[in-house]
Amino acid sequence: MGVTTWVAIASDGGSDSPTLPQVSVSGVATTGEPAPDFSLPTLTGSSVRLSDLRGKPVVINFWASWCNPCRKEFAAFRRVLASHKGQFVVLGVDYKDIDSDAATFARQQKASWPMLVDGTNAVSQAYGVRAVPQTFFIAADGTIVSRIYSQLSSDDLERELAKIL
């Protein structure tokens, strides 16, 4: 028996862009709750533990090299990260991908943020990720402030970042 998930996109009435979709799923990372901690290896061989970043705003972007919307939002992440240098941390979690493909794409895109390998999909499951791109915005205290289920533009990133900076 399959599960159907419906996502509604609402307009705030005063903007040309819709409110980005956010959904709560029982038993997984939820806005308003602490972000599940994890430690993952990077594509370059080091490792990153989320709890080591406590005290800094963090953006976790689940992506894959085979995902066209993911590929398109890399430029937005580069621009926004450069314009807010040192104000927050971006972590890219590669989702159900071939490590060498992910590493090649990240290198070609000049991604300067850590690219993490979720080889067992345990982190993706803890965060309820079943499709990409998905991005979590986490406040300095470790609380998930928002979760976005779509490709982000620079404007989207700036709007969501304002909530955690």
Each residue of 40-68: pLDDT tens digit?
Answer: 999 999 999 999 999 999 999 999 999 99
Of residues 2 and 131, the one with the higher pLDDT is 131
> Nearest to residue 132, comparing CAs of 64, 72, 77, 78?
64
Could you tell me if 143 and 32 are in contact, meaning their C-beta atoms sit under 8 angstroms apart? Answer: yes
**What percentage of residues in the chain have a pLDDT greater than 70?**
84
C-alpha span between 91 and 36 (Å, rounded): 14
Q: Which domains does the chain have, with CATH numbers?
A: 39-161 (3.40.30.10)
Return the closest-CA partner of residue 84 out of 142, 146, 162, 137: 162
pLDDT at site 2: 39
Contacts of 60 (CB under 8 A, 6+ apart): 35, 50, 90, 91, 93, 127, 135, 136, 138
Kindly state the helix (H) or strand (E) to which residue 80 belongs, with its residue range: helix 68-83
Q: Average model confidence (pLDDT) for the chain?
A: 87
**Separation of CA 100 from chain center:** 20
